[in-house]
Amino acid sequence: MKVLLFGSDGQLGWELQRTCPDTIEMVTCDYPNVDFCSAHTIEKCINATLPDCIINAAAYTAVDKAEQETDLAYRINHDAVLEIAERCKKNNIFMVQISTDFVFNGRNFKPYKPYDTPSPESVYGKSKREGEKAVLDILNDKALLIRTAWLYSSHGNNFVKTMIHLMKERETLTVIDEQIGTPTWALGLAHAIWNSIEKKITGIFHWTDAGVASWYDFAMAIQEDGLAAGLLEKSIPILPVTAKQFPTLAKRPYYSVLDKTSFLQATGLKPLHWRVQLRSMLAELVR
């Protein structure tokens, strides 16, 4: 099977490349070889490859900046996705679209099931939801939509690596303790994507690591495991704060735990707890 990967330079794209099965012929495409603001370059890349499957891991993910760059966020998260989906329909290509917990408003206060009604409150979340609808409207049962949350990797920029850096530089940190979700190592998501492609699963599904945490819990774990791994030399005070004490341009969901039950039943996968995954990822930073 030939797979075209959009967003190959991102943290998920990087993990997909290093976990790619031997049975897959992968072709990668990212900026500047494809400009997601240009329908022509998207079409050119697809026509030059004519894959059996496209994984779209490309996205505009600067959540706060999206509030000021609305047109660009929608261009990448909706328009480009729509154009990819249209090319897939024309050429009978299966599509895997990666989405986010931000399509929910976070006021459900129980794990969100895949077919719960989305209600995004940020430009990022709204643009990603429009991308979801484009894929589902155009491709129907010729697509797989996977939502994930709190993604990190040893590659690229993310919360884990930012916290490690700040813990080395500062004497104290403040981290929000009232937003709840699930930290997710992109490596585990990559394995789940390959598994779902192999099993030819279609529809909407959720994937994260196991367990739940606040951002404060996550930061505390990063410090504890970072010390154990030798990435940090000393412990610093980490103080919990409310979202009102740490205002941001974009609204974030207070509770965005995703229910993975249907995906686990379809794939037979068993996600590891996020603390186990965090320790494994930190070990990569040591090497």
Q: Which two tokens stand for residue 235?
A: 């412990």
C-alpha neighbours within 13 Å on the C-beta side of residue 85: 25
Distances in Å between the alpha carbon of 54 and those of 92, 197, 200, 235, 283?
A: 11, 10, 13, 44, 31
Its sign, for the CA torsion 196, 199, 205, 208, is negative
Q: Which two tokens stand for residue 3?
A: 């797979």
Distances in Å between the alpha carbon of 134 and those of 34, 124, 137, 262?
A: 20, 16, 5, 22
Residue 124 known to be catalytic: yes
Exactly one of 60, 124, 152, 216 is catalytic; which is it? 124
DSSP 77-105: IIIHHHHHHHHHHHHT-EEEEEEEGGGS-
CA–CA gap between residue 206 and residue 269 (Å, rounded): 12
CA–CA gap between residue 129 and residue 161 (Å, rounded): 28
CA–CA gap between residue 134 and residue 28 (Å, rounded): 23
Distances in Å between the alpha carbon of 34 and those of 5, 6, 15, 119, 270?
A: 11, 9, 20, 31, 35
φ and ψ of 123, to 5 deg: -60, -40
Q: Which two tokens stand for residue 218?
A: 């996550």
CA–CA gap between residue 43 and residue 3 (Å, rounded): 15
**Residue numbers annotated as active site:** 124
